[in-house]
Amino acid sequence: MKPSENLSRLGIVLAPPAGPFGAYVPARRAGSLIYVAGQLPMRDGTLIASGPVPSSCPLEQARQAARQCAVNGVAAAAGLVGGVDRLVGVVRVGAFVASDDSFTQQPQVANAASELLLEIFGDSGRHVRAAVGVNVLPLGASVEIEFIFEAVA
């Protein structure tokens, strides 16, 4: 199935990307690669998860936030290349999780984004990944994720 068909099946509508909120662009193309700036878990202009995991943001809420970051990342890349079906697949995901000092389940948070990308892109959604715990993120977000996609020429 095409990525657009998978999005439709999942009930996901891609919104125009938010931002930029500084001296950068949301996505940039270099050859066949689309680099997407860190995406926060924003939905309809609202941050859906804030504070460190798990004290302020439970693990499951952080996973939902990671899924929203993935939706936002796909939207940013698709907007740059003229539609989601022009994206060949996912190359890399970098997940940052605002974490309490003893929290070590950053990969479980990042898995939610990775799993959604597989649902959207199938096997071409398989990617390399980093999942890192950090002290604080912009706007107090619980999760921020950056992406590298591959697009058709």
Number of folded domains in the chain? 1
Amino acid at 125: G
Instruction: Give the tens place of pLDDT for each residue, 91-136.
Output: 999 999 999 999 999 999 999 999 999 999 999 999 999 999 999 9
Residue 20 predicted with pLDDT over 80: no
Amino acid at 26: P
Q: Which domain holds residue 14?
A: 3-19+27-151
Instruction: Give the tens place of pLDDT for each residue, 33-54.
Output: 999 999 999 999 999 999 999 9
- Contact indicator for 17, 72 with CB cutoff of 8 Å: yes
Question: pTM for the whole thing?
Answer: 0.97
The number of beta carbons lying within 10 Å of the beta carbon of residue 94 is 16
CATH number at residue 15: 3.30.1330.40
Instruction: Give the tens place of pLDDT for each residue, 67-80.
Output: 999 999 999 999 99
- Contact indicator for 148, 114 with CB cutoff of 8 Å: no
The number of beta carbons lying within 10 Å of the beta carbon of residue 49 is 25
Residue 26 predicted with pLDDT over 90: yes
- Helix 106-121 to helix 3-10 angle (10° resolution) is 120
